[in-house]
Homo-oligomer: A and B are copies of this chain.
Amino acid sequence: GTNGMFTPSEKKKVIVLGGDGFCGWPTALYLSEIGHDVIIVDNLSRRAIDLELECDSLTPIQSMGERLKVWKQVSGKEIPFHFFDVAKSYELLRELIAREKPDAVVHFAEQRAAPYSMKGPYQKKYTIDNNVNGTHNLLCAIVESGLDVHVVHLGTMGVYGYGTSGGEIPEGYIDVTLPGGRESNILHPMSPGSVYHMTKCLDQLLFQFYQRNDELRITDLHQGIVWGTNTPWTKKDERLINRFDYDSDYGTVLNRFLMQAAMGYPLTVYGTGGQTRAFIHIEDTAKCIGLAIENPPKSGDRVEIFNQIAETHRVRDLAKIIADLTGCEVKSVNNPRKEAAENELEVSNKKFRSLGYEPISLGTGLLEEVTQVADKYKDRCDVDKIMPSSFWNKKIEEQCTDDV
């Protein structure tokens, strides 16, 4: 079967900013596979952060040159790659857009780990500077080009906050009654839980403004936590393998659990594990972006917001699923984050479903596949990196380190 893939109504030229990353690489391959002309931009900062954190992708990812050479071999398609910093090299971004006249730009190029963004002043400052200037440069360059380019941005469910949602979270906008009984539809109130999540809130305001002032066409995807590693496209050759982060800064919760299971360590749940989060499989990330590109807002339409999620789970329930699958234990540790110990979360994903999206859910089959990946490369794992090393504030740091 096609796994829910579709043939685009027209071939588009798509620039993928951050196309070397965990989501960007499989998405670039998917867009190329379904027939779009893809161009990748990346400054390889994610690989550089691995040097700083003294860890590495569990999977042996290849250099961009090697990746693209192999993709050419297996698919016959060429993906040009440009190495530059979208937050710093405004002129290169502007020239690329003016020269290539893309139909769409998919923007993944941000520092995306909440714990990393809370590690210390350097990382807080870097995350703000990189993410806000990167997004603003993109919008500014499109305005300067005078072209009608559709921006597809990866945001996060975390902009809504992780308190108890008290009802299904709608897609971006919310109906409210203001004092005096006036009805209004406003951007969902923002409640970011880290500097990283905050930058996605700042991005939202940039999008609102540039849509209103310059009529840019923008789709903002409020994505859940991504799990998994490979997709049908990265599996075509082992040298196309996607990155798999398991460290406490970049490893998302499910991937961390799978790694602990593979190493025979207890799964470490923060606090009660009562946090409810939204999840999506990496293959669905790519497919949703394909759908977003296929269905741009019309010129003049407000910023289109999709909740890009498949399902929600409590962290302790996820741990239980993996523990049952692998026979390992679950252990609670002090929470390095400042967040509600327990929260409910209900999320609408009607818009993608109405476009034909049928989410992959956390079924045993796929989980087993990821377990095999973790197992296959486990000699590359430094298990010490799984325990928290970034703390939301000094008090929390003391509590967490007293514990040890």
Contacts and interface: CB of A to CB of B under 8 A. Distances in A.
A206 B198 contact: yes
A1 interface: no
Contacts of A175: 179
A364 interface: no
B192 A178 contact: no
A324 to B, nearest CB: 35
Interface residues of A, number: 48
A90 B123 CA distance: 13
A392 interface: yes
Interface stretch (A137-145, A311-319, A379-387): A137-145
Interface string A137-179: 1001101101000000000000000000011000000111111
Given A132-B128, A393-B213, A205 B190 contact: yes
Interface in A104-150: 121, 124-125, 128-129, 132-133, 136-137, 140-141, 143-144, 146
Contact of A140 (B125, B166, B178): B125
Contact of A143 (B182, B186, B393): B393
Given A90-B121, A190-B205, A213-B338, A174 B179 contact: yes
Interface in A17-59: none
A180 interface: yes
Contacts of A143: 121, 393
A367 interface: no
Nearest to A135: B128
Interface string A368-404: 0000000000000000000000001110000000000
Interface in A171-201: 174-180, 182, 184, 186-187, 189-192, 195, 198, 201
A167 B190 CA distance: 23
B174 A178 contact: yes
Q: Which of A136, A180, A184, A393 has the most CB of B within 10 A?
A: A136
8 contacts: A121-B143, A166-B178, A174-B178, A184-B189, A192-B205, A192-B209, A198-B209, A213-B393
Interface of A: 90, 94, 121, 124-125, 128-129, 132-133, 136-137, 140-141, 143-144, 146, 166-167, 174-180, 182, 184, 186-187, 189-192, 195, 198, 201-202, 205-206, 208-209, 212-214, 338, 392-394
Given A132-B202, A177-B177, A202-B202, 5 more contacts: A128-B132, A128-B133, A167-B178, A176-B176, A184-B189
